[in-house]
Amino acid sequence: MNRYAHIDAMRAFAVLLVVFSHAGLKFVPGGSGVTIFFAISGFIITYLLLRERDKTGKFDVSGFYIRRFLKIAPPLILVIVLPTIVYWALGGTLDPLDVLGQVFFFFNLRYLDSHITVLPGSHVMWSLSIEEQFYLVFAILWLFMVRWRNYRKALTLLGLSLILYSALSRWALFDAGASSDRIYFGTDTRLEAIAIGMLTALWYHRYSDDEMVRGRHLAGKHYMPSGGLTRDGYTIPLLGRNWVFFTAIGVYLMTLVIRDTTFRETVRYSLQAWSASTIMLWGLVASRQPLGAAIHRFLAWRPLQLIGLSSYSIYLVHDVLFKAIEGHLQDLPLLAQVALLVPPGLLAGVLIYLMVEVPVQRFKDRRFGASWKQDQKPAPAPADTPIVIPWNKQKS
């Protein structure tokens, strides 16, 4: 699999929502950015594992965990662990169990009532905890399922079960009077978005050669190259139509506009995850029509791509930096504070990506890179393909 520019642009959009929200613009829906991250993570990890199975028929579980460790640990140590030690040494108050929760990824379970005592600004570790819990359990399950003849059915059943369980958990907790924190930070209540991304990857892997994705081949008198719904002998596939994109964007915006408490604590998370997954699928084929091609060119804009590629480090460092300097900006107007906070937060994350993530990525590819990705050849495409960036030149 290659890195698709539109998915990295979605990462950039998601992290910018979080950054601007933490900078003080409370009307910016930073929480929806986290849901987008969850859906992307579920899609990427699942699709890579499926492609590995296609090439090798198995799952290199040790390689998977090593690569995850090398992806997660270096920025985490630099941005969270070491500053936490310095903060404690300078007299800062910490709860040891909360700190252990950050390091061993059960922090969200400590954060269910928001009563946590950690390095100021490091609370973002709650969402990474949910993702790592998923990777841990999913990898163990996949180790067994990968050799099954009906692995697709098993994976589909797992995804649907997680979606149903997570959605019902939110409803049950809301009806029981649980706090918003319990619903927002719970693994059970937020796992749905990752499972939706997982099912999206499974669907795309299964139907990548279907007419919905590739379009219908036209030949002879049936082929009209000037037709609005044809290109290079293929119809524009269903998933690449403009209305798919605008419907997904419209649903996402609707989730931000509706302020009803029941909707926000239950249905909102589902719709945001499905919208993000739909846009991921749309972007895989949309460059074959004019609007999609124009959007792809914008999404491939280098600064936007750099933010997307740096999104993990930006996510980790931005609020730690904000908390360190915002006390000196309290007398300034809100917009001035935002203008002085956001650029350093983004720049710090980009520098950590370039100086830490990229060198570690190169080491990881040399020593622990997945051989099936190095040997694979691009699949033939019926028409113009989406803008892609090779995996071996970017992070995974």
Give the chain's domain count. Answer: 1
- Residue 372: the pLDDT is 58
Please state the rounded mean pLDDT for residues 353-359. Answer: 97
Residue 351 lies in a domain: yes
Which structure tokens are listed for 254?
């609707």
Q: CA 153, CA 166: separation in Å to the nearest integer? A: 20
- Reported as half-sphere exposure (CB side, CA atoms, 13 A), residue 275 has a value of 22
3-state secondary structure of 4: strand
> What does 59-95 look like in DSSP terms, one character per residue?
--HHHHHHHHHHHHHHHHIIIIIHHHHHHHHTT----
Q: CA 96, CA 316: separation in Å to the nearest integer? A: 20
Residue 287 lies in a domain: yes
Are the CB atoms for 35 and 334 separated by under 8 Å?
A: no
- Residue 371: the pLDDT is 61
User: What pLDDT band is residue 223 in, cutting at 50, 70 and 90?
Assistant: very low
Are the CB atoms for 307 and 15 separated by under 8 Å?
A: yes
- Residue 218: the pLDDT is 67
Q: What is the pLDDT of residues 121-167, one digit of tens each?
A: 999 999 999 999 999 999 999 999 999 989 999 999 999 999 999 99
- Residue 6: the pLDDT is 92
On the question of pLDDT at 239 being above 50, the answer is yes
Please state the rounded mean pLDDT for residues 192-197. Answer: 98
- Residue 377: the pLDDT is 43
Residue 227 lies in a domain: no
On the question of pLDDT at 287 being above 90, the answer is no
- Residue 45: the pLDDT is 95
**Residues 147, 197, 286, 361: what is their CA dihedral angle, to the nearest 10 degrees?**
-80
Residue 257 lies in a domain: yes
- Residue 224: the pLDDT is 47
Please state the rounded mean pLDDT for residues 387-391. Answer: 43
Residue 372 lies in a domain: no
Residue 392 lies in a domain: no
Residue 391 lies in a domain: no
Are the CB atoms for 117 and 93 separated by under 8 Å?
A: yes
Q: What is the pLDDT of residues 324-340, one digit of tens each?
A: 999 899 999 999 999 99
- Residue 219: the pLDDT is 60
Query: What residue spans of the chain are helical by DSSP H?
Result: 5-22, 30-56, 61-76, 82-89, 96-103, 107-110, 125-145, 151-175, 180-185, 187-207, 211-214, 242-257, 261-265, 267-285, 290-299, 302-309, 311-325, 334-352, 358-368, 371-375
- Residue 285: the pLDDT is 84
Residue 361 lies in a domain: yes
Are the CB atoms for 122 and 92 separated by under 8 Å?
A: no
- Reported as half-sphere exposure (CB side, CA atoms, 13 A), residue 27 has a value of 3
Neighbouring residues of 104: CB distance < 8 A, sequence distance ≥ 6: none
List the domain range (segments joined by +) for residue 58. Answer: 3-210+233-365
Question: What is the percentage of the chain residues whose pLDDT exceeds 90?
Answer: 75
CA 162 from centroid of its chain's CA atoms:
18
Q: CA 221, CA 196: separation in Å to the nearest integer? A: 41
Q: CA 204, CA 208: separation in Å to the nearest integer? A: 5
DSSP 8-class letter at 322: H
Are the CB atoms for 155 and 202 separated by under 8 Å?
A: yes
User: What pLDDT band is residue 88 in, cutting at 50, 70 and 90?
Assistant: very high
- Residue 379: the pLDDT is 40
- Classify residue 165 by burial, with Cβ atoms within 10 Å: 0-12, 13-18, 19+: middle
Please state the rounded mean pLDDT for residues 374-396. Answer: 42
Contacts 24+ apart (CB under 8 A), 159-162: 159/195, 159/196, 159/198, 159/199, 159/202, 160/195, 160/199, 162/191, 162/192, 162/194, 162/195, 162/198
Neighbouring residues of 73: CB distance < 8 A, sequence distance ≥ 6: none
Which structure tokens are listed for 142?
């996949």
Type of residue found at 114: S
Average pLDDT, the chain: 88
DSSP 8-class letter at 2: P
- Residue 293: the pLDDT is 86
